[in-house]
Amino acid sequence: MAIKDYEFWFIVGTQHLYGEEIFADINSHAQDMCDEWSKKLPCKVVAKPCVKTSSEILNVIEQANNTPNCAGIITWMHTFSPSKMWISGLNALNKPYLHVNTQYNRDIPWDSIDMDFMNLNQSAHGDREHGYIHARMRKKVKVIAGYWKDEQFQNKMGIWMRAAIGASESRKLRVLRISDNMRNVAVTDGDKIEAQIKLGWQVDHYGVGDIIKYVNAVTDDEIDAQMQVYKNNYEFDTDNIDSVRYQAREEVAIKKFLDENGFGAFHTNFEDLQELRQLPGLAAQDLMRQGYGFGAEGDWKVAAMVRLMKIMTEGKKDAKGTSMLEDYTYNFVKGKEGILEAHMLEICPSIADGPISIKCQPLSMGDREDPARLVFTSKEGKGIATSLIDLGNRFRLIINDVDCKKVEKPMPKLPVATNFWTPQPDLYTGAEAWILAGGAHHTAFTYDLTAEQMGDWAAMMGIEAVYIDKDTKIRDLKRDLMLGEVFYR
Ligand code: MN
pLDDT in tens, 386-442: 999 999 999 999 999 999 999 999 999 999 999 999 999 999 999 999 999 999 999
Query: Is the bond preceding residue 371 a cis peptide, omega within 30 degrees?
Result: no
205 by DSSP, 3-state: which? strand
- What confidence tier does 40 reach under pLDDT thresholds 50, 70, 90? very high
> How many angstroms does the Cα of residue 378 sit away from the middle of ligand 1?
18
Residue 404 contacts residue 380 (beta carbons within 8 Å): yes
pLDDT of residue 206: 97
Q: Cα separation of 449 and 442, whole Å?
A: 18
Residue by residue, DSSP assigns 248-292 as HHHHHHHHHHHHHTT-SEEE--TT--TT-SS--SHHHHHHHHTT-
Helix or strand run (H / E) with residue 213: helix 208-217
> How many angstroms does the Cα of residue 344 sit away from the middle of ligand 1?
7
> How many angstroms does the Cα of residue 105 sit away from the middle of ligand 1?
54
Beta bridge partners of 235: 357
Average pLDDT over residues 137-148: 97
pLDDT in tens, 357-367: 999 998 877 67
> How many angstroms does the Cα of residue 371 sit away from the middle of ligand 1?
16
Residue by residue, DSSP assigns 80-130 as ---GGGGHHHHHH--S-EEEEE--S-SS--TTT--HHHHHHS-HHHHHHHH
CB-neighbour burial class of residue 488 (10 A; exposed 0-12, middle 13-18, buried 19+): middle
Q: Cα separation of 156 and 147, whole Å?
A: 12
> How many angstroms does the Cα of residue 328 sit away from the middle of ligand 1?
9
Helix axes 220-233, 282-289, angle to 10 degrees: 70
Q: Cα separation of 203 and 314, whole Å?
A: 23
pLDDT in tens, 15-26: 999 888 899 999
> How many angstroms does the Cα of residue 296 sit away from the middle of ligand 1?
6
Q: Which has the minimum average pLDDT: 178-182, 218-222, 363-367?
A: 363-367
The mean pLDDT value of the chain amounts to: 96
> How many angstroms does the Cα of residue 242 sit away from the middle of ligand 1?
26
Q: Cα separation of 269 and 208, whole Å?
A: 9
307 by DSSP, 3-state: which? helix
- State what percent of residues in the chain have pLDDT above 90: 94
- What confidence tier does 119 reach under pLDDT thresholds 50, 70, 90? confident
Q: Cα separation of 236 and 219, whole Å?
A: 22
Residue 148 contacts residue 100 (beta carbons within 8 Å): yes
> How many angstroms does the Cα of residue 346 sit away from the middle of ligand 1?
9
Average pLDDT over residues 310-314: 96
Q: Cα separation of 264 and 308, whole Å?
A: 9
Q: Cα separation of 9 and 67, whole Å?
A: 10
- What confidence tier does 146 reach under pLDDT thresholds 50, 70, 90? very high
> How many angstroms does the Cα of residue 342 sit away from the middle of ligand 1?
9
In one letter, which amino acid is 463?
I
> How many angstroms does the Cα of residue 388 sit away from the middle of ligand 1?
15
Residue 20's Cβ-side half-sphere holds a number of Cα atoms within 13 Å equal to 0
Average pLDDT over residues 376-391: 98
306 or 317: which leads in pLDDT: 306
pLDDT of residue 368: 85
Residue 148 contacts residue 37 (beta carbons within 8 Å): yes
pTM: 0.96
> How many angstroms does the Cα of residue 282 sit away from the middle of ligand 1?
16
> How many angstroms does the Cα of residue 121 sit away from the middle of ligand 1?
56
pLDDT of residue 345: 95
> How many angstroms does the Cα of residue 260 sit away from the middle of ligand 1?
27
pLDDT of residue 1: 62
Backbone torsion region of residue 471, taken as left when φ is above 0, otherwise alpha when ψ lies between -120 and 50, otherwise beta: alpha
